[in-house]
Structure 1
Amino acid sequence: MLMKSILAAVALLAALAQTLAAADLRIGMIGLDTSHVPAFTDILNNPQNKAHVPGAKVVAAFKGGSPDIASSRDRVEGFTKTLVEKYGVKIYDSIEEMVKHVDAVFIESVDGRPHLAQAIPVIKARKPLFIDKPMAGSLKDVLEIFRLAKEARVPVWSSSSLRYSKAAQAVRGGSVGKVNYAEAASPASLEPSHPDLFWYGVHGCESLFTVMGTGCETVKRGTTADGKIEVTGKWKGGRTGIFREAKGYTGVAKGDKGEAAIGAYDGYAPLVAEAIKAFQTGVVPVSPEETIELFAFMEAADESKRRGGAEVSLAEVLKKAGK
């Protein structure tokens, strides 16, 4: 009789664990001033969306917003209204209060400058965190976010959706062998409050680092024949990676087994799926080292511009930022 009771209790606990594992994660969003907010929320909350990612729902948010950036100031109220009225998301007056009601967090603020301050209460609450591009408004803040995350043992990562295009992921997986040369192009509109490539050029730079990986040592910034931004990075072992400003998303990766086109945009769903997987497993898909190097590349490009196109080492800008 006792054995039957024990077995029944074990079965009940197993069923409960399975139910909890299957339950949707409660997602909180910080910064409702970008089109990513309704797009990501629909992917997660709407089963009728063809790109639906199961396993999580956006249930809470902190509005945020940056009065000195028009694209934030002019859109935050509209996106907030959409989340409340269409998806039933509850708005909280503080991040500290919001994190009490969620399992994981997306920082979506279009402005990278407040990301560090927004990340601190999330990390203190030990909630897994995804930070949308740009990870921060400065390399120094990127380093500090990762330092705090490591100290608290909280999974934190950042990425552009361009990293998860099928073509870029195939190359990263070895489809052309070891990549010795790559070019990636994307729009690179500027926002005066941010280093030049942080605001939008980060998309193309993310594609570049997806296929090249870490190991960039120096950066030199110039211009294309039509006056657009061109940044050439030199990697260890004589490898070269180039970012160019362009109207669309394009690129090429050349390896010891062939070459392939890269840079295409395949929607937000692959990125959202990776974020949810990271929340569920506690394992981030992009290492802090790679993201830090990506932002050092972009910061070095600005420093090269300030020096009239001189070659700048990533080690120098990292040291200046406090690493």
Structure 2
Amino acid sequence: MNVGIVGTESSHVDHVVRYFNAEHRAGDARVVAVAEATRDVGVSTVVDRADDLLGMVDAVIVADRDGRQHARQAIPFLRAGVPVFVDKPLAASVADAEAIVGAAQQSDTPVTSFSALRWHPRLRELTGQPTAVVTTGPVDPASSYAGVFFYGIHPVELALILAPGPVSDVHVRRVSGAIVATATVGRVAVCVQMVEKVVPFHVLLTTGTSVTAVELPLGPDYLHPGLDAFLDMVRTGKPPVSYEDLLRPVSFLAAVDTAL
């Protein structure tokens, strides 16, 4: 399998190239080319535009840090029948996220996107029917990579993994050094705390009988379970995350962005 990468600025690209090309964790699958490169990541074939990879690769990872670019970069591959993994966030607007999912559905070509924290092993400790979920993580609302979308996707997606169902109106408060967003999701009270400095990722789950808190430290191979899921999608054609669950975090963050 020949894999292409679009965008190289993110440190995630180093993990991807190590996974495929250095440690051969995906068998004979290799990253063979990159597009829209801003630095050398050890892949010899470099092309200018994302769609220059068409015909060269069997699957694509869109790794551009700016979610505002993702629809432009991903949709041509989906229309051409090439499976795509869009590194977080899927997009920086509901319209772009819906356009990506729509292209996947129209061409019957799978697409996925997720925070690497979705696969964190400590999430298995959170069991029982939740009544409330509180997640915490860093954010930079002034980020040049679409503001709250860049890091805010992590605590938002964590909350929505644990709280299935429709999202009510999102209420946003700006407090000293943090953005606090609350909503009712299905029957679960959700609170997402986005802190404007580097803090650990943290989840607090309340059920009718217990309260469980876990911190989610990132090890050196934290991206690898997600890459395993991406490869399984390419081989089976089945996305690991439902398209509804691709759209919910973008919609939540769009509400936060609008409120700010």
- TM-score of the pair, normalised by structure 1: 0.73
3-state DSSP of counterpart to 2:68 = coil
Amino acid at match of 1:207: L
**Cα-Cα RMSD:** 2.0
Seen in structure 2, the aligned counterparts of structure 1 residues 257 and 45 have a Cα distance that, compared at 3 Å, is farther
Indicate which of 174, 184, 187 corresponds to 2:135: 184
Indicate which of 298, 310, 315 corresponds to 2:253: 298
Indicate which of 27, 42, 46 corresponds to 1:83: 42
Q: Which has the larger radius of gyration?
A: 1
Seen in structure 2, the aligned counterparts of structure 1 residues 178 and 112 have a Cα distance that, compared at 3 Å, is same
Q: Which residue of 1 aligns with 2:29?
A: 56
In the TM superposition, what is the alpha-carbon distance from 1:124 to its structure 2 partner?
2.1
Seen in structure 2, the aligned counterparts of structure 1 residues 41 and 257 have a Cα distance that, compared at 3 Å, is farther
In the TM superposition, what is the alpha-carbon distance from 1:199 to its structure 2 partner?
1.5
Q: Which residue of 1 aligns with 2:58?
A: 103
Q: Is the 8 A contact 2:81 2:107 kept in 1?
A: yes
Which residues in structure 2 correspond to 1:168-317 (within 5 Å)? 168=123, 170=124, 176-191=127-142, 196-224=147-175, 226-237=176-187, 239-246=188-195, 247-256=199-208, 258-262=210-214, 264-266=216-218, 267-305=222-260
The alignment covers a number of residue pairs equal to: 254
Q: Is the 8 A contact 1:278 1:284 kept in 2?
A: yes
| Equivalent-residue separation in structure 1 for 2:246 and 2:26 (angstroms) | 25
In the TM superposition, what is the alpha-carbon distance from 1:118 to its structure 2 partner?
0.8
Amino acid at match of 1:248: P
Q: Is the 8 A contact 1:176 1:258 kept in 2?
A: no
In the TM superposition, what is the alpha-carbon distance from 1:184 to its structure 2 partner?
0.8
Q: Which residue of 2 aligns with 1:32?
A: 8
| Equivalent-residue separation in structure 2 for 1:55 and 1:183 (angstroms) | 41
In the TM superposition, what is the alpha-carbon distance from 1:207 to its structure 2 partner?
1.2
Indicate which of 17, 20, 24 corresponds to 1:41: 17
Amino acid at match of 1:271: G
Which residues in structure 2 correspond to 1:120-135 (within 5 Å)? 120-135=75-90
Unmatched tracts of structure 1, length 5 or more = 1-24, 65-75, 306-323
Seen in structure 2, the aligned counterparts of structure 1 residues 53 and 233 have a Cα distance that, compared at 3 Å, is farther
| Equivalent-residue separation in structure 1 for 2:33 and 2:217 (angstroms) | 28
Unmatched tracts of structure 2, length 5 or more = none
Q: Which residue of 2 aligns with 1:8?
A: none
| Equivalent-residue separation in structure 2 for 1:300 and 1:141 (angstroms) | 15
More strand by share: 2
Higher RCO by CA contacts (8 Å cutoff, separation 6 or greater): 2
In the TM superposition, what is the alpha-carbon distance from 1:105 to its structure 2 partner?
0.5
In the TM superposition, what is the alpha-carbon distance from 1:256 to its structure 2 partner?
4.1
In the TM superposition, what is the alpha-carbon distance from 1:265 to its structure 2 partner?
3.8
Seen in structure 2, the aligned counterparts of structure 1 residues 263 and 272 have a Cα distance that, compared at 3 Å, is farther
- TM-score of the pair, normalised by structure 2: 0.89
In the TM superposition, what is the alpha-carbon distance from 1:82 to its structure 2 partner?
2.7
In the TM superposition, what is the alpha-carbon distance from 1:191 to its structure 2 partner?
3.9
| Equivalent-residue separation in structure 2 for 1:235 and 1:120 (angstroms) | 30
Percent identical pairs in the alignment equals 25
Q: Which residue of 2 aligns with 1:313?
A: none
Amino acid at match of 2:192: F
In the TM superposition, what is the alpha-carbon distance from 1:111 to its structure 2 partner?
1.0
